[in-house]
Amino acid sequence: MLLNELTIKEAREKLDTFQISALELTNACLEAIKKRNQELNAVLEICSKEAILEAKQADKKLKQGLRGPLLGIPYLAKDILMTKEVKTTAASKILINYVAPYDATVIKKLKEAGAILLGKTNLDEFAHGASTENSAFGVTKNPHNESRVAGGSSGGSAAAVAANFCLFSLGTDTGGSIRQPASFCGVVGFKPSYGRVSRFGLLSMTSSTDVIGPITKNVEDAALVFEVIQGLDQHDATSLEVKETENFTGLSGLKIALPREYFSQLKNEGVKKILEKAVEKLKQAGAVVQEVSLPNSRFGIPVYYIITPSEISSNLARFDGIAWGEGSKEAQNLHDFYFKTRGEGFGAETKRRIMLGTYALSAGYFDSYYQKAQAVRSLIIEDFRLVFQDYDFILGPTTPHEAFKIGAQTNDPLAMYLEDIFVTGASLAGLPAISIPGADSEELPIGLQLIGQKFQDQKLLALAEALQKILI
Amino acid sequence: MLTSEEIFHIAQLAKLEISEAEAEKYSRELSAILSYVEQLDQADISSVNQETRTLDSENVLREDEVKVWDQEERESALRQGEICDGLVKVKKVL
């Protein structure tokens, strides 16, 4: 087995007992990136020199007897998280040469924990998309089948873990962007509860749903990374410290809800089969699995595609080419400079979302679009609350089908939006959710999604780990 | 249905330079998305209190006090733009 194929837990044991060094582990990852990244395009920027230096420091600490869950563990971060030493482009032409003045809080925490940053991963421009086809630097290919997409927007992060470029990666999830690519690439993708992980240093997209989370090879590793990155941060007013009081006590007697709206929309036989198998296994283990209704879940996508563009049109107003980022070279006056900088710097989907949001927020339309969407969002949140009065968790598919072919949906933005049909709900309600690989994956992987109660992230991870064990 | 003229108006508000061809494309695409979104009219929002709606979160407040930012980080942030006499330089406004 190659070192880069190890899980965090496996590598931890070998590092702590000096069977391997952090430098060997880092070199194995860098080698894997060198070998296959040209075809996959999962990594946009590699920082070998810094990584090797950090690995040597980690080895020194290990020899001194220091220990920690991520000490000496190499990882990759989505290129929308600010990093001091490496460029942060958000896969946009407008930030093509941008170097952040400070590290995002998650990057800082990982650095303090001794994790080794290998580089930055590809994404849909500013995380706008579900296939990484919206990246200004080219699409990321699915490691399981290179004619297929890796999903998005954290497609580079998911593909990198699936291709063993790193031991884990960081992604961001605004309406499914960690879970959907994890499903397509056959890895674990965890979106924590809104507020549990600081977003300081994450380029804002939709401030009311943006969350940072880990993409890993198994659930146990996701829990290890989450433990390090979570917590209150004075720089993010929405972050908070949560002490979870409810523990996971095993599958027996657990009440799991199956939203019938998720099933009635499933046409793909493979996805159905994987879900049925999971239900059967859970029942065998003593869990109670019952059908429930989330009557307003059908409004998830329409709500999401009003609220998200609205927040984007506001958040992306800061990109004016002045003080940072790429500015137009041709403009003569300030007015012209703004228009040219933004017109040339943003890609098609980003412009589409900015305009949609500008329209939804403009005078005369605010009530009928934005206010209405926020009201329906309340109904969606209430649906979840009611289900969680009687159930511990919600189980469903992550994606309606396996990874689609590159180019298959690029001409129809609406079809692309519908890719997120099962994942937007948890985002709009701020709930923790995880995608784990379903068993029986024939050629292309498909994920199962578990949604937990707000702030019960560790409990959700414990259930996901138990489910992963019985699915094998 | 959003016309090309309306698209140009929205682009104007959003400070985006777009071409005729782009305006036509966005007119088609945004119209399709908006007509899909219209199904929100079917939702019964009479039970929703517009004052307290959305996330069931609590406000977290802190003292409004000035905290000094790291000198090196501040300088590195300023270096990204065009600086003239210690100020960020912008294009002529008039």
Does B25 map to a domain? yes
Q: Across the interface, do B45 and A413 touch by the CB < 8 Å criterion?
A: no
Q: Is the pLDDT of residue A439 over 80?
A: no
Q: Is A273 a catalytic residue?
A: no
Does B9 map to a domain? yes
pLDDT, tens digit (0-9, with 9 covering 90-100), for A25-69? 999 999 999 999 999 999 999 999 999 999 999 999 999 999 999
> Using a CB-CB distance cutoff of 8 angstroms, which residues of chain A are in contact with residue B92?
332-334
Q: Is A435 a catalytic residue?
A: no
Q: Across the interface, do A356 and B43 touch by the CB < 8 Å criterion?
A: no
Q: Across the interface, do B17 and A344 touch by the CB < 8 Å criterion?
A: yes
Q: Is A153 a catalytic residue?
A: yes
A14 CB burial (10 A radius; 0-12, 13-18, 19+): middle
pLDDT, tens digit (0-9, with 9 covering 90-100), for A102-138? 999 999 999 999 999 999 999 999 999 999 999 999 9
Choose, from A177, A297, A313, A435, the residue flagged as catalytic. A177
Residue A119: strand, helix, or coil: strand
> Using a CB-CB distance cutoff of 8 angstroms, which residues of chain A are in contact with residue B68?
none
Delineate the domains of chain A, giving CATH numbers in brackets.
1-472 (3.90.1300.10)
Q: Is the pLDDT of residue A187 over 70?
A: yes
Confidence of residue B62 (pLDDT cuts 50, 70, 90): confident
Q: Is the pLDDT of residue B55 over 60?
A: no
Phi, psi dihedrals of residue A236, rounded to the nearest 5°: -125, 105
Query: What's the pLDDT score for residue A316?
Result: 97
Q: Which residues pair with B87 in a beta bridge?
A: B84
Find the mean pLDDT for residues B17-42: 96
Q: Output the DSSP codes for A177-231.
A: TTHHHHHHHTSEEEEPPTTSB--TTBPPS-TTT-EEEEEESSHHHHHHHHHHHBS
A403-412, B14-23, B73-82 — which one is most confidently predicted on average?
A: B14-23
Cα–Cα separations (whole angstroms), residue A17 to A13, A28, A65, A390? 6, 19, 11, 46
Query: What's the pLDDT score for residue B60?
Result: 78
In b/e form, how buried is each residue of A400-426, taking b as 16+ CB within 10 angstroms? bbbbbebebbbeebeebbebbbbbbbb
Q: Across the interface, do A414 and B32 touch by the CB < 8 Å criterion?
A: yes
Strand-pair category, A116-121 with B87-88: unpaired
> How far apart are the CA of B21 and the nearest CA of chain A, in angstroms?
12
> How far apart are the CA of A99 and the nearest CA of chain B, in angstroms?
8
Query: What's the pLDDT score for residue A258?
Result: 97
> How far apart are the CA of A409 and the nearest CA of chain B, in angstroms?
13
Q: Across the interface, do A101 and B74 touch by the CB < 8 Å criterion?
A: yes
| Closest C-alpha to A195, from A455, A451, A450, A453 | A455
Q: Across the interface, do B73 and A102 touch by the CB < 8 Å criterion?
A: yes
Give me the residue from A303, A336, A342 closest to B40, CB to CB.
A303
Does B91 map to a domain? no
Give me the residue from A102, A299, A378 closest to B48, CB to CB.
A378
Is the C-alpha dihedral spanning A332, A334, A336, A341 positive or negative?
positive
Choose, from A78, A109, A217, A454, the residue flagged as catalytic. A78
* Neighbouring residues of A373: CB distance < 8 A, sequence distance ≥ 6: A302, A303, A306, A307, A310, A360, B37, B40
Mutation target for B interface from A340, A356, A381, A410: give the one with most B CBs within 10 A: A356
pLDDT, tens digit (0-9, with 9 covering 90-100), for A318-358? 999 988 888 888 888 899 999 999 999 999 999 999 999 99
Expressed as residue numbers, the domain containing B22 is: 4-40
Q: Show contacts of B37-41: CB within 8 Å, 24+ apart.
A: B37/A302, B37/A305, B37/A306, B37/A369, B37/A373, B39/A298, B39/A299, B39/A302, B40/A299, B40/A302, B40/A303, B40/A306, B40/A372, B40/A373, B40/A376, B41/A372
Percentage of residues in chain A with pLDDT exceeding 70? 99
Does B17 map to a domain? yes
Angle, vertex CA A98, rays to CA B78 and CA A410, nearest 5: 145
Residue A429: strand, helix, or coil: helix
DSSP letter for A405, please.
B
Confidence of residue A209 (pLDDT cuts 50, 70, 90): very high
Chain A residue with minimal CA distance to B42?
Answer: A299
Query: What's the pLDDT score for residue B82?
Result: 83
Q: Tell me the C-alpha distance between A392 and A451, whole Å.
A: 9
| Closest C-alpha to B30, from A175, A408, A378, A362 | A362
Q: Across the interface, do B17 and A339 touch by the CB < 8 Å criterion?
A: yes
Does B73 map to a domain? no
Return residues 67-86 of B near A (CB < 8 Å). Answer: 70, 73-74, 76-78, 80-81
Does B62 map to a domain? no
Give me the residue from B18, B26, B50 closest to A375, CB to CB.
B50
Strand-pair category, A255-259 with B83-84: unpaired
Q: Across the interface, do A339 and B22 touch by the CB < 8 Å criterion?
A: no
Structurally, chain B folds into a number of domains equal to: 1
| Closest C-alpha to A189, from A210, A162, A167, A171 | A171
Helix axes A372-390, A300-315, angle to 10 degrees: 130
**CATH number, position B26:** 1.10.20
Q: Which two tokens mark B19?
A: 């071409």
| Closest C-alpha to A385, from A440, A435, A341, A425 | A425
Is the C-alpha dihedral spanning A9, A12, A18, A20 positive or negative?
positive
> How far apart are the CA of A211 and the nearest CA of chain B, in angstroms?
15
Q: Is the pLDDT of residue B89 over 90?
A: no
Return residues 15-44 of B near A (CB < 8 Å). Answer: 15-18, 22, 26, 29-30, 32-34, 36-37, 39-41, 43-44
Chain B residue with minimal CA distance to A295?
Answer: B43
Phi, psi dihedrals of residue A185, rounded to the nearest 5°: -100, 0
Find the mean pLDDT for residues B25-40: 96
Does B77 map to a domain? no
Chain A residue with minimal CA distance to B23?
Answer: A352
